[in-house]
């Protein structure tokens, strides 16, 4: 997770890497009044996001693990092998049963890669702003107009 300078400095003060006096001198030129603080909070809370925008997303921590990367490379290699041999067989008149086997192995490799992607790489949390459902209230019967033909 990305951290800003102030959060990192507060953590360094908490662990004792930076003294309190050094942190105060580093932050001496920064001014934050209550109006600016409230405006920043109100901006994040009260400004409405447009429908369809991703408000927050976080990747799974295992999405960049070595096992996922090796499985992706393995799947890509076998997919290219089976698809290439199937293409070669198509042009050289191989039997239909052998071609269907190569096609099935290509699909199995792609399915394994898809399962790994869905299980370990796909974002763990995605919050998307949705449009509210429309509500139509009851029509007042006294406001109806009578039309004569």
Answer whether residue 2 is part of any domain: yes
Using the CB atoms, write b or e for 10-46: b if 16+ within 10 Å. Answer: eeeeeeeebeeeeeeeeeeeeeeeeeeeeeeeeeeee
**Are residue 119 and residue 82 in the same domain, yes or no?**
yes
Among 32, 47, 62, the domain boundary falls at 47
Q: Please, are residues 68 and 121 in contact by the beta-carbon 8 Å criterion?
A: yes
**Are residue 42 and residue 66 in the same domain, yes or no?**
no
pLDDT given for residue 85 in this prediction: 98
**Are residue 62 and residue 99 in the same domain, yes or no?**
yes
- R_g (Cα) of the chain, nearest Å: 30
pLDDT given for residue 1 in this prediction: 44
The pTM for the full model equals 0.49
Q: What is the pLDDT of residues 55-76, one digit of tens each?
A: 666 666 776 788 889 999 999 9
C-alpha pair distances (Å), 16 with each of 12, 13, 123: 6, 5, 35
**Stretches in the chain below the pLDDT threshold 70:** 1-4, 37, 40-47, 49, 52-60, 63, 124-137, 140
**Are residue 36 and residue 102 in the same domain, yes or no?**
no
Taking the C-alpha atoms of residue 80 and residue 100, their distance in angstroms, rounded to an integer, is 16
**Are residue 28 and residue 79 in the same domain, yes or no?**
no
Domain span at residue 43 reads: 1-47
Count up the domains in the chain and report the number: 2
pLDDT given for residue 17 in this prediction: 87
pLDDT given for residue 10 in this prediction: 80
Closest alpha carbon to 25 in 13, 37, 11 = 13
**Are residue 32 and residue 57 in the same domain, yes or no?**
no
**Are residue 68 and residue 34 in the same domain, yes or no?**
no
**Are residue 71 and residue 38 in the same domain, yes or no?**
no
Count of all residues that appear for the chain in the document: 149
Answer whether residue 149 is part of any domain: no
Answer whether residue 144 is part of any domain: no
């Amino acid at each position: 997770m990305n951290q800003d300078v102030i959060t990192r400095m507060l953590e360094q003060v908490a662990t004792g890497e930076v003294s309190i006096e050094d942190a105060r001198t580093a932050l001496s030129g920064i001014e934050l009044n209550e109006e600016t603080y409230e405006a920043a909070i109100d901006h994040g809370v009260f400004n409405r996001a447009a429908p369809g925008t991703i408000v927050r997303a976080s990747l799974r921590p295992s999405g960049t693990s070595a096992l996922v990367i090796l499985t992706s490379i393995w799947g890509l290699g076998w997919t290219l092998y089976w698809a290439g041999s199937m293409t070669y067989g198509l042009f050289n008149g191989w039997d239909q049963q052998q071609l269907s086997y190569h096609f099935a192995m290509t699909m199995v490799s792609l399915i394994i890669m898809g399962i790994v992607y869905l299980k370990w790489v796909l974002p763990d949390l995605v919050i998307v702003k949705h449009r509210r459902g429309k509500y139509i209230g009851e029509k007042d019967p006294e406001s109806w107009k009578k039309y004569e033909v």
